[in-house]
Amino acid sequence: MLDTQPDFTVVGAAADGADAVRRSAIVHPDVVLMDVRMPGVDGIQATRQLTAADGGPRVLILTTFDLDEYVYDALQAGASGFLLKDVTAERLFEAVRVIAAGGALLAPDVTRRLIAEFARSRPLPGPDRRISPDQGVAALTPRETEVLLLVAEGLSNPEIAGRLVVTEETVKTHVSRMLGKLGLRDRTQAVIRAYESGLVIAGRRDQR
């Protein structure tokens, strides 16, 4: 299905997580579509190995959802987002392009609900980070903190620009600086950090 798109080339398929890591080291894909539950090396372990490497691929998780607890772990392992396995072909194509371009899948409300739920109930211990959540958030300027809150709401750069009455280029600058200060790779991880730090509390609209 992916090969039907003129801007895609499928460079390989893998039977499990270990096979995905091995093949990726050979063919160097831009994006990996990763299942979660597999024998041997599962999708979480494979995602962690793939994203830990310099210049490694971006990972898009495929899941059956239904509050799959493993999805949150996969996002923490470095995945850039996830899709349901019954996704339409058009949505899959769009998602691959977004991930390949350096974006993250935050638009669906289901994604934010999932991240919020597991960030609230199962925070990642501090030693697995480069800096602790409190230190990271405290290092942000008021505007960067505001941008982080809006990213956690799932707003796109144009939407944030409209909310703050600034240019989209200004928003991109704030997002880039915010990610850099927090030691994060993309917006998905920024949403997780916002919840884990306590800056955003699941179920509350006013997060200040």
Tell me what pLDDT residue 8 has: 96
The better pLDDT of the pair 38, 14 is held by 14
**Residue 190 carries which side chain, given as an amino acid letter?**
A
Rounded CA gap, 186 and 94, in Å? 17
- Extract the tokens encoding 17: 């997580």
Highest-pLDDT range among 61-65, 78-82, 176-180, 189-193: 176-180
Contact 111, 67 (CB under 8 A): no
Contact 111, 81 (CB under 8 A): yes
What band does 136 get if pLDDT is binned at 50, 70 and 90? confident
Please tell me the CATH code under which domain 127-196 is placed.
Answer: 1.10.10.10
Q: Which residues, other chains included, contact 26 with Cβ-Cβ below 8 Å and sequence gap of 6+?
A: 12
Contact 174, 128 (CB under 8 A): no
Instruction: Tally the residues of the chain.
Output: 208
**Residue ranges of domains in the chain:** 2-105, 127-196
Contact 71, 63 (CB under 8 A): yes
Please tell me the CATH code under which domain 2-105 is placed.
Answer: 3.40.50.2300
Q: Please report how many Cα atoms fall inside a 13 Å half-sphere around the Cα of residue 169, on the Cβ side.
A: 0
Contact 75, 34 (CB under 8 A): no
**Radius of gyration of the chain, Cα coordinates, nearest whole angstrom:** 17
For residue 158, pLDDT over 70 is answered with yes
Which value, to the nearest 10 degrees, does the dihedral of the CA atoms of residues 121, 127, 128, 129 take? 100
Tell me what pLDDT residue 28 has: 94
List the 58-63 sheet strands across, edge first.
31-35, 58-63, 81-84
Highest-pLDDT range among 41-55, 102-116, 181-195: 41-55
Burial (CB < 10 A; 0-12, 13-18, 19+), residue 7, is exposed
**Residue 192 carries which side chain, given as an amino acid letter?**
I
The better pLDDT of the pair 104, 107 is held by 104
For residue 204, pLDDT over 70 is answered with no
The rounded Cα 195 to chain-centroid distance in angstroms is 14
For residue 162, pLDDT over 80 is answered with yes
For residue 202, pLDDT over 70 is answered with no
For 83-116, give one letter per residue: b (16+ CB within 10 A) or e.
beeeeeeeebbebbebbbeebbbbbeeebbebbb
The better pLDDT of the pair 21, 110 is held by 21
What band does 71 get if pLDDT is binned at 50, 70 and 90? low
**What's the whole-number average pLDDT of the chain?**
81
Tell me what pLDDT residue 208 has: 46
Tell me what pLDDT residue 125 has: 45
